[in-house]
Structure 1
Amino acid sequence: MEFTTRPEIAGTFGVATSTHWIASAVGMSLLEKGGNAFDAAAAMGFVLHVVEPHLNGPLGDMPLLIKPSCDTVPTMVCGQGTAPAGATIAQYRAQGLRRIPGSGLLATVIPGAFDAWMLMLRDHGSLPLRDILEPAIHYARAGHPTLPRVAATIAGLAGFFREEWPTSYDTWLPGGAAPQPGALMKNPALADTWTRLLAEAEAKPGRETQIEAARDAFYRGFVAEAIDRYLRDACVMDAAGGRRKGVLTGQDMAGWQASYEAPISARYKGWTVWKGGPWTQGPALLQSLQILDGFDLDAMDLRGADFVHLVTEAMKLAFADREAYYGDPDHTDIPMSTLLSEKYAEARRALIGDAASVEQRPGRLAGFETWTDAALRHATEDYVSGGGTGAGEPTMAHLSQRRGDTVHIDVIDRWGNMVSATPSGGWLQSSPVVPGLGMPLNTRAQMFWLDEGLPGSLTPGRRPRTTLSPSMARGPDGTELAFGTPGGDQQDQWQLIYLLRLVHGGMNLQQAIDAPLFHTGHFQESFYPRPVRPGHLMIEPAFGEAVITDLRRRGHAVEVAEPWTVGRLTAASRNSDGLLRAAATPRLMQAYAIGR
């Protein structure tokens, strides 16, 4: 029997799981109040902005998959904002940039998370907006226990904030002192922002009208006005080592709104798996499944070197295609049907050998050769980081505490409504706090390239190809699954391994989460300064020395992580008879699953 650190939660009323215990408890409280999964997920999201400010914020971005109980397939809610009208390659190149900095103001796109929550709530929620926002207002005003990583992040940036980002210094170091681990941390300006927004919304009659009023206040009212006013004059230090102004305006915000779209899917061993389109990295998980479909994983030890090697090599191929072909399909014709075809998967499968590949090997599709050439050029050019702060997004605790990450939420209610959401961006360490709002801007534009003619080229109105990637799946017995994780480029790697353990290992949700994890940094990272580490493989030591030695023998550049530091998965499921289950990772001692 597989070891677990905690029980798999089970019941029939509802389950809520997330990357912070307070958010999970808030979600369950909304279900107890009579709310549905959509109400609970939104309340959890706003609380996570408060309690994990180093991992996400209200001015960040978010894709979320929702599945109302009456629907047979999920729907994607796109909370990924687009590049502002002034975000042109010429504008950025004129400032001497070869790539977009990972922090500061030039990396900001239109904030998308807030409107995605509001759109979902308007159409699928049931509780008043006050019920959704009051928990976040409480924790922002009354305080919450400071996570050790939050305390360390703020302490490490105290001097930088004082000298370069004074609004952040005032917000995160009130009175000039960094918060201590476990001490109460407050954000009264954020509480005031939500209190004012709620007051303006409640001046209107009716639940849906109030939600629309909140959207107006955020994107066309006082929130947008505060952002516009700040960005007209602000010129701040960024990760490229220079002080630069942003290009986002209130007009950009007024012209954007969240939207619905169909996810894409693939079949694997009787399962159907749904992911976001190629404006996310989600299709890389589907491509990996297509490649692996030709191998007998049932015959493999899921803790063995053969399994780790095979899955790693499949992911290298899928993520090489991510770099060459993924982007906003509203702006570029992405050959997704070809990339997900069995014929293409067969050709990719044949590239996997006994030795670890150290090459970047995107598929070379006819008519798209310039994209492939660009991906190979990016992977081989000698980029040099300009220093600065807040650059990029780490994978886990074993990396820099000055870099942002992500959070995740899964909720299923007693009626069978499901949500899987991955909010991110607006990290306290990567952009200054907007005066009066208590929240920093996002830096998702760092994923664009400053080269013309590519699916990921910086273009006004285009979505950056994000790493954010919630998941849903349905098993051959009708079990429905919502799952996901923070972790930047590692999100779809850890989720792939997790799913394979459910399909081939017969594990329950918690067992599959607790099992040791691995990932590769072989391909081009999505975050500034966009490094490449050929052949890299990070693995948890619980795999054992014999497996690690075998992998090194095959040519993998193995990096052994500290114990229990890879992956932040959460998951929830619903059987066809209505039995609900949930699980959360013990790693970092933050995530929690609650249900009954």
Structure 2
Amino acid sequence: MHFFSTRIGRIAIIFVGFSLFNSVVYAQRTQKPPLHGRHWMAITGKPLAATAGAQIFQQGGNAVDAACAMLAATCTMWDVLSWGGETQALIYNPKLKKVIAINALGVAPTGATVDFFKAKGYAFPPEYGPLAAVTPGTPGGLCYMLANYGTKSLQEVLKPAMEMAAGYAIDAQTANSIERGKARIKEWPYSKNVFLVHQGEEREAPEPGEIFVQQDLLQTLTKMVEAEQSALQAGKDRKTAIMAAYDRFYRGDIAEEFVRGSKEQGGLITKEDLANWKPIEEEPLHIEYKGIDVYKLQEWTQGPAMLQSLNILKNFDLQAMGYNSANYVHTLYQAMNLAFADRDFYYGDPYFSPKAPMKGLLSDAYAKMRAQTIDSLKNDPYIGPGDPYPFEDSTNPYQSLLNKRAKLINPSANDQLDFVPKHDVTLLEDVAEPYRLAAEVDSLYMDRLLRGTTSVEAADAEGWVVSITPSGGWLPACIAGNTGIGMSQRLQSFVLDSLISPFNVIEPGKRPRVTLTPALALKDNKPFLSFAVQGGDTQDQNLLQFFLNVVEFGMTVQEASEAANINSNQLWLSLGGTKVDDRKPRAGSLLLDSRTPTEVIDKLKTMGYTIQLGERTSGPINAIYFDDKHQTLWGGSSNNGEDYGIGW
């Protein structure tokens, strides 16, 4: 049965505007209108990339085809990710009527050991450069999804990205990010040659609107398409031909040049590392919340933290508290802190030992026990991991580690710092008005806001739904040789000390626990919501609130994608900084929207919170809502960045 009527190959492009939409409980004036579609929806972090998805839909492709085209286009546009990064996806398969998970995260290379990095003086692996890289996952993940669930050829899906690699009008955000990061870019010869197109001039990066050409990347993508087409000409089927392109990337001449270029610049990745890596199709994790089944990726991501948070919040009447009241903010903050404390300690690669106690962590009984520890009157700065093992009938083998670990978290005055995630940096320097938002948001803020990840959302008339949170290889990126491929920086999400997490200690061949976390929700066994966001450790915080905005407060997906969120910094950071003090939790540090009423701020201060304010705190979230009553699609695309959607 088709969820929607037959696809029509024309598009409606959505422009930013102001409109008012009513909802059941809550209404707000949105800065973008919602997207409406009957046949398909394509939403991602860049306008040109959304157009790439629309082109594939126009050509008769399904949502997987369109999502792969958007993924390829965003990788080619650089500043939020690139081709050497990682891809993680949830796909609703209408033929099987189930959600499947794609794990296309790279692994630590040969030689990436605790001793190796500690000998260099690191407490965490580095943020940038060839030593920050896991093996590329995105090319393999794209090929796997397309081969198994798409309908188009790799040549068709990569065509928009290849046209862009041949030259596209670069956007101001990316061009200016290159200019700001040029000192680091100059450390890497291949990056310097690609990005600094005006070497020796005052501005060495491309100018906004200038045609930006990437011949090496174009050649790499061309080689992949050539491998596919050669296989087709030899009589191979579509799937086998696409995987021939995969093989050329991971085992052929592309792999050889990638490894050569990486090693030349001090990297560790070997040909064997590339040849041995492969994407994995998995069963996702899920919980039920008020009749809605919420799906996330396994514990190699932080996704289960949202599921844990929802389980905890089942024990409270959120509607009675009121949207973003002081009590609601406090309850959310405490629930998220409990879930993230478990994330920090227990999550890691499920294909390595030890195995995380996910059955206990996701049980309702464990969540109820955790909920009962919340003090309704004040923040608990000492929140640490719980003990889920009794809830799966076993004994915690790490109790002694947990006892020692508690001493690392010292909620002293030194920890009560104004700390906001990099993508939400806004300083409040006016002592006379400590809660007044700075008048202007500088370019560095925007650069950090958009750094490092994007989201891809697609749905079609047949019922295919795709939610992806790709990342890695963001600017300033180290390019591996003459491939045009930027290397991932995801190795920094490992830890070097089992005291922080015995499940996420670096080993060759192991995947780091990442922040990247797409989401899908089903209602009555049919697609209900598909949603994802960028933003490091804040991703599942923002996605949790988006979901509650829709389910508890009746917002449309556009209202929910723009709505004011909170962020907690009482967690171990997954990115940035190579010292323990750079990553430690900041107890009571709370980001609020600048429009938060004074009385709410004042009450939260009495509850032990240190307040920072942000102008827009919604994500940026991209989402699709499936209107079962009218058999139509609603799209939401945040006003927080460059995110953009097209529907028909």
TM-score (norm 1): 0.91
SS of residue matched to 1:192: helix
Whether 2:551 is the aligned partner of 1:528: answer no
Deviations 1:369-399 (A, max 9, x none): 24534654555599x9xxxxxxx98334657
Q: 1:445 to 1:20 in 2, by over 3 A?
A: same
Q: In the alignment, residue 422 of structure 2 is paired with which amino acid?
A: P
Do 2:260 and 2:481's aligned partners in 1 also have CA atoms closer than 8 Å? Answer: no
Whether 2:184 is the aligned partner of 1:184: answer no
Q: What are the within-5 Å matches in structure 2 for residues 324-473 of structure 1? A: 324-331=345-352, 332-353=354-375, 354-365=377-388, 366-373=396-403, 375-376=405-406, 379=409, 394-396=422-424, 398=426, 401=447, 404-429=451-476, 431-452=477-498, 454-473=502-521
Runs of 5+ unmatched residues, structure 1: 235-244, 385-391
Match of 1:573 in 2: 625
Match of 2:342 among 321, 328, 332: 321
Distance 1:64 1:142 in 2: 28
Match of 1:225 in 2: 256
Match of 1:480 in 2: 528
Distance 1:313 1:21 in 2: 37
Do 2:588 and 2:609's aligned partners in 1 also have CA atoms closer than 8 Å? Answer: yes
User: How many angstroms does 1:364 deviate by?
Assistant: 3.5
Whether 2:288 is the aligned partner of 1:267: answer yes
Match of 1:209 among 232, 237, 240: 240
Q: In the alignment, residue 215 of structure 2 is paired with which amino acid?
A: P
Match of 2:18 in 1: none
Match of 2:179 in 1: 155
Whether 2:154 is the aligned partner of 1:129: answer yes
Q: In the alignment, residue 13 of structure 1 is paired with which amino acid?
A: H
SS of residue matched to 1:572: strand
Q: In the alignment, residue 473 of structure 1 is paired with which amino acid?
A: A
Distance 1:226 1:495 in 2: 39
Match of 1:284 among 299, 302, 305: 305
SS of residue matched to 2:69: helix
Distance 1:409 1:439 in 2: 20
Match of 2:66 in 1: 40
Deviations 1:92-116 (A, max 9, x none): 2233332211112222111111111
Match of 1:78 in 2: 103
SS of residue matched to 1:288: helix
Do 1:360 and 1:523's aligned partners in 2 also have CA atoms closer than 8 Å? Answer: no
Whether 2:75 is the aligned partner of 1:49: answer yes
User: How many angstroms does 1:477 deviate by?
Assistant: 8.8
Farther-moved stretch of structure 1 (3-12 vs 131-140) = 3-12
User: How many angstroms does 1:264 deviate by?
Assistant: 0.4
Deviations 1:48-92 (A, max 9, x none): 0122x1211111011100111123321100001121232222222
TM-score (norm 2): 0.84
Do 2:168 and 2:211's aligned partners in 1 also have CA atoms closer than 8 Å? Answer: yes
Match of 2:555 in 1: 507
Do 2:570 and 2:589's aligned partners in 1 also have CA atoms closer than 8 Å? Answer: yes
Q: In the alignment, residue 192 of structure 1 is paired with which amino acid?
A: Q
Do 1:404 and 1:425's aligned partners in 2 also have CA atoms closer than 8 Å? Answer: no
Do 2:261 and 2:482's aligned partners in 1 also have CA atoms closer than 8 Å? Answer: no
Farther-moved stretch of structure 1 (90-99 vs 522-531) = 90-99
Q: How high is the sequence identity, in percent, across the aligned residues?
A: 32
Farther-moved stretch of structure 1 (412-421 vs 84-93) = 84-93
Match of 2:430 in 1: none
Distance 2:370 2:272 in 1: 45
Do 2:43 and 2:622's aligned partners in 1 also have CA atoms closer than 8 Å? Answer: yes
Whether 2:575 is the aligned partner of 1:548: answer no
User: How many angstroms does 1:307 deviate by?
Assistant: 1.3
Do 1:87 and 1:247's aligned partners in 2 also have CA atoms closer than 8 Å? Answer: yes
Do 1:9 and 1:582's aligned partners in 2 also have CA atoms closer than 8 Å? Answer: yes
Deviations 1:485-522 (A, max 9, x none): 00010000000000001111111110111211221111
Do 2:452 and 2:473's aligned partners in 1 also have CA atoms closer than 8 Å? Answer: no
Number of corresponding residues = 572
Farther-moved stretch of structure 1 (308-317 vs 446-455) = 446-455
Q: In the alignment, residue 106 of structure 2 is paired with which amino acid?
A: G
Do 1:412 and 1:573's aligned partners in 2 also have CA atoms closer than 8 Å? Answer: no
Do 1:323 and 1:375's aligned partners in 2 also have CA atoms closer than 8 Å? Answer: no
Match of 1:107 in 2: 132
Match of 1:7 in 2: 33
Do 2:169 and 2:208's aligned partners in 1 also have CA atoms closer than 8 Å? Answer: no
SS of residue matched to 2:198: helix
Q: 1:378 to 1:79 in 2, by over 3 A?
A: farther
Do 1:395 and 1:490's aligned partners in 2 also have CA atoms closer than 8 Å? Answer: no
Farther-moved stretch of structure 1 (34-43 vs 221-230) = 221-230
Q: In the alignment, residue 433 of structure 1 is paired with which amino acid?
A: I
Do 1:324 and 1:371's aligned partners in 2 also have CA atoms closer than 8 Å? Answer: no
Q: In the alignment, residue 593 of structure 2 is paired with which amino acid?
A: E
Whether 2:618 is the aligned partner of 1:591: answer no
Distance 1:325 1:140 in 2: 41
Q: 1:140 to 1:394 in 2, by over 3 A?
A: farther
Distance 1:593 1:423 in 2: 17
Q: In the alignment, residue 395 of structure 1 is paired with which amino acid?
A: H
Do 1:146 and 1:179's aligned partners in 2 also have CA atoms closer than 8 Å? Answer: no
User: How many angstroms does 1:350 deviate by?
Assistant: 1.5
Distance 1:544 1:223 in 2: 56
Distance 1:533 1:36 in 2: 45
Q: 1:153 to 1:78 in 2, by over 3 A?
A: same
Runs of 5+ unmatched residues, structure 2: 1-26, 389-395, 415-419, 427-443, 578-582
Farther-moved stretch of structure 1 (113-122 vs 396-405) = 396-405
Match of 1:388 in 2: none
Q: In the alignment, residue 543 of structure 2 is paired with which amino acid?
A: Q
Distance 1:477 1:75 in 2: 14
Distance 1:345 1:58 in 2: 39
User: How many angstroms does 1:314 deviate by?
Assistant: 0.6
Deviations 1:258-289 (A, max 9, x none): 01000000111111100011110001000000
Farther-moved stretch of structure 1 (60-69 vs 526-535) = 526-535
User: How many angstroms does 1:566 deviate by?
Assistant: 4.5
Q: 1:198 to 1:377 in 2, by over 3 A?
A: farther
Deviations 1:147-179 (A, max 9, x none): 32x2332212223323x2222221111131212
Match of 2:635 among 566, 582, 588: 582
Match of 1:64 in 2: 89
Distance 2:625 2:303 in 1: 20
